[in-house]
Chains A and B, each alone.
Chain A
């Protein structure tokens, strides 16, 4: 798998330095290829560097981060954006989500936890690759697609490397390696990610109780689920649902 090319956009040099030097890009198969300090510079850099990922503050000079995303979407549909903002405000978040950004993280950035964000990006890129592959037979042949499809279909159950090994008659070690090579993330990170995505979908589109959502997303104990959810989304499941309801009620 080739390395992800990352562009850092923030008007503060210290924030960019922090990202560059405090996050272990190497370990996440990434490479910082450029930096920009304002919206205009960001647009130019995106055009010349064609990065896979842009990590960007909303509140930057000349053009806002949201504007940069809008303008570069057309020419660079595959570039992923992660918004970093000090404004703990859901209205920004909503606007950003409308532009189909990959993730929205709040300052102060916890560099140890930023890895989850990169993992999520890799998983969504992988899923897009699968969907874009036009020959269905070719898709079938690849072991990884079978594995991920199985995981997705059995979310609510106990899924582990050993279960997969038994089901597909493969070595657990080999499956683990397959996830790393094909998607770029470990099996557990993948599992957590799709469980969370499923839980978020259930929270927003159904009125199931938190305990039921937890169960359908593969968490027997809803307290474990709440903790995991809080860690990945920054808010508790009930808060997540309430924020969404509040914001859709407002407008």
Chain B
């Protein structure tokens, strides 16, 4: 018996290490599970100790025996309560109904713990092994049954409104609790409560609390934060900026008015996210608005365009040039104190028939050693890259993914180094039907 408790303890200790080392959101549900894990581990320790003490009634002093037994039963009652609590929070999260049974559960917990500490303990001695019986033991069973009924009651009354996966977790846990308690009640010498508790904890862990699920939750939360951040009403933005622009113009400050006009242009063009493809002209217009503002902020910055006018109507994926130019500015020209030039060219590709190439070339600081290979490797393995939420490469990776998705795998983005310093981004795109 002792060996089984040790094995169970090791299994759950491993689970606890994995669980606590994974990042997770701090929700009441996860907090409850964390507490549950710790209490179960303590319980298994006391379980092991009592298995030894109860069978050595003659050598272990009665006081020690009682103390460990009360701790063992106390943690078991606490675990029953935490199981119930976990189910209750789960149901609340799913249905949005307040946890009305909580006060009753807490009051009962106080009574049960008091009973555990005060009621007399009696040990039954049998040839198969010793165990405790009498009023103290019955009280313990009652607690388990009480919380079991509360939990299953909650589950059944909200059956239709709970996600199947969560129903399964609660269902398995309840079933295990029922079977183990019944078996334990039939034969007191089996001492399998520790196994039952471990199984229930494992069921919750495997179905609802494993690191993959925790990570997915975290990512989802960050994504929705990013999404919420971008929810500025564009109408509000244009109108406010326009009001400021008109005031500037009324004050006779036409420079400020012009800059605001460009800023509004930039926003107006960049929120057209609903359209996957735009004409090259639109894309260049957005870039011009962006670069005019940047060149005003950094007067040493220059920008040159060399666009084949025949390509003006060619369809290109929306919003691909600005992230690349921004990348050139932040990683190339910023290191030069924004002294330098960005050159954007769009030509029919000489090397690839039926393609056009857009090149964004800068006179910046160029790649650090090995950086070019790292970026090109990331771009060619674009599909394997985990969705990153931070970092500078997210912009160009996103551009790469969209080009591959919208135009095909043959097209895309790559980087080369310039002879005279700086880097060039090459975008290879199909020549659309409207580019004649």
Binding site for B on A (CB under 8 A): 12, 14-15, 17-18, 21-22, 59, 86-88, 106-111, 209-211, 223, 226, 230, 236-239
Contact pattern, B 418-436, Cβ under 8 Å of A = 1, otherwise 0:
0000000000000000101
Whether A209 pairs with B239 at a CB distance below 8 angstroms is no
Q: Which of A87, A107, A210 contacts B313 (CB 8 A)?
A: A210
Of B8-16, B159-167, B195-203, B245-253, the segment with at least 4 beta carbons within 8 Å of chain A is B245-253
Q: Tell me the smallest distance from the CB of A233 to a CB of chain B, in Å.
A: 13
Whether B272 pairs with A238 at a CB distance below 8 angstroms is no
Cα(A15)–Cα(B249), bound, Å: 12
Contact pattern, B 293-307, Cβ under 8 Å of A = 1, otherwise 0:
000000000000000
Cα(A239)–Cα(B277), bound, Å: 11
Decide if B312 is an interface residue (CB 8 Å cutoff). yes
Cα(A210)–Cα(B308), bound, Å: 17
Q: Which of A18, A59, A107, A237 contacts B250 (CB 8 A)?
A: A18
Q: Tell me the smallest distance from the CB of B285 to a CB of chain A, in Å.
A: 9
How many interface residues does chain B have, given as a range? 20 to 34
Whether A59 pairs with B235 at a CB distance below 8 angstroms is yes
- 18 inter-chain pairs at a CB distance below 8 angstroms, sorted by A residue, are A15-B243, A17-B250, A22-B249, A86-B238, A86-B242, A87-B235, A107-B238, A108-B238, A108-B242, A108-B245, A108-B260, A108-B261, A108-B264, A111-B249, A209-B436, A223-B309, A236-B282, A236-B313
Which residues of the other chain, B, contact A239 by a CB distance below 8 angstroms? 279, 281-282
- Which 8 pairs show the lowest CB-CB distances between chains A and B? A18-B246, A86-B238, A238-B313, A14-B243, A108-B242, A108-B264, A86-B235, A223-B309
Q: Tell me the smallest distance from the CB of A204 to a CB of chain B, in Å.
A: 16
Which residues of the other chain, B, contact A108 by a CB distance below 8 angstroms? 238, 241-242, 245, 260-261, 264
Binding site for A on B (CB under 8 A): 234-235, 238-239, 241-243, 245-247, 249-250, 260-261, 264, 268, 272, 279, 281-282, 309, 312-313, 434, 436
Given contacts A59-B235, A88-B268, are A107 and B242 in contact (CB under 8 A)? Answer: yes
Which residues of the other chain, A, contact B281 by a CB distance below 8 angstroms? 226, 230, 236, 239
Whether A12 pairs with B239 at a CB distance below 8 angstroms is yes
The number of residue pairs between A and B whose CB atoms lie closer than 8 Å in the complex comes to 64
Whether B272 pairs with A88 at a CB distance below 8 angstroms is yes
Secondary structure class of chain B's binding surface, majority of residues = helix
Which residues of the other chain, A, contact B249 by a CB distance below 8 angstroms? 18, 22, 111
Cα(A106)–Cα(B313), bound, Å: 22
Cα(A21)–Cα(B281), bound, Å: 33
Which residues of the other chain, A, contact B245 by a CB distance below 8 angstroms? 108
**With A18-B249, A111-B249 already in contact, 10 other A-B pairs whose C-beta atoms are closer than 8 Å:** A86-B234, A86-B235, A86-B238, A87-B235, A107-B242, A110-B261, A226-B313, A236-B312, A238-B434, A239-B281
Which residues of the other chain, A, contact B247 by a CB distance below 8 angstroms? 14
Which residues of the other chain, B, contact A14 by a CB distance below 8 angstroms? 243, 246-247
Cα(A88)–Cα(B273), bound, Å: 12
Whether A238 pairs with B242 at a CB distance below 8 angstroms is no
Which residues of the other chain, A, contact B434 by a CB distance below 8 angstroms? 210, 238
Cα(A223)–Cα(B308), bound, Å: 11
Cα(A13)–Cα(B50), bound, Å: 83
Cα(A190)–Cα(B13), bound, Å: 86
Q: Which of B239, B282, B309 contacts A107 (CB 8 A)?
A: B239
Q: Tell me the smallest distance from the CB of B64 to a CB of chain A, in Å.
A: 79
Which residues of the other chain, A, contact B260 by a CB distance below 8 angstroms? 108
Q: Tell me the smallest distance from the CB of B434 to a CB of chain A, in Å.
A: 5
Closest residue of chain B to A241 (Cβ to Cβ) is B434
Q: Tell me the smallest distance from the CB of B138 to a CB of chain A, in Å.
A: 72
Q: Tell me the smallest distance from the CB of B12 to a CB of chain A, in Å.
A: 58
Q: Which of B243, B261, B309, B313 contacts A12 (CB 8 A)?
A: B243
Q: Tell me the smallest distance from the CB of B249 to a CB of chain A, in Å.
A: 6
Whether B279 pairs with A22 at a CB distance below 8 angstroms is no
